[in-house]
Amino acid sequence: MNFENDKSVNENSVEDIVQRYRPELEKITPYLRWLKDNASHEVAQSYSNSDLKSMPFPIYDSNLLAFVKAAQTTNLIDRNYVYTYSRNRLSSPKDELMFIQDAQITDIDDLAGILSCYILQGMTKGSKWAEGVRTGVLYNVVKKMDDLVRFWGQETTSPLA
């Protein structure tokens, strides 16, 4: 991640974390309501044409693609997300959801690692983005990160979802 501390607060202090993550989260939190409404729904369909003898490929909901594109423009995406999974022994969506539920502000880098896993793997594995929506992992990870930043940043406005 390319977060830089502007040296106005101690590095990795709560204030620093809030200051670094708030602008990045503002890019993806508008999709919270959509992620919540579509949890446990299919947001991708497989298209294949037997006349052309082509390989089936996924067709995604436009909101899902917009969310992924917004997430890709943030500094939240970390190609070293694998270490988050091994360090926290995460191997299934159930493990991810339990970790997200118990996460604190000091775990926000690991939450970004979970988001990174779904965004980056979805670029090569067609079903990963849809799986993240269907299992609720994408909604829960973005919601938890937003809740933590709002709580520790002492913001009184409530999020969209």
**Average pLDDT rounded to a whole number, residues 29-57:** 76
141 pLDDT band, cuts 50/70/90, is very high
Q: CA 83, CA 69: separation in Å to the nearest integer? A: 24
Rounded percentage of the chain residues whose pLDDT exceeds 70: 82
User: Which pLDDT belongs to residue 12?
Assistant: 72
Alpha-carbon torsion, ordered 119, 44, 89, 20, to 10 deg: 30
Q: Are 33 and 133 in contact (CB under 8 A)?
A: no
13 pLDDT band, cuts 50/70/90, is confident
Of 9, 30, 39, 20, nearest in space to 148 by CA: 20
Q: Are 85 and 113 in contact (CB under 8 A)?
A: yes
Length of the chain counted residue by residue = 161
| Backbone dihedral angles phi then psi of residue 25, each to the nearest 5 degrees | -70, -30
Mean of all residue pLDDT scores within the chain: 87
10 pLDDT band, cuts 50/70/90, is confident
Q: Is the pLDDT of residue 27 over 70?
A: yes
89-102 confidence digits (pLDDT tens): 999 999 999 999 99
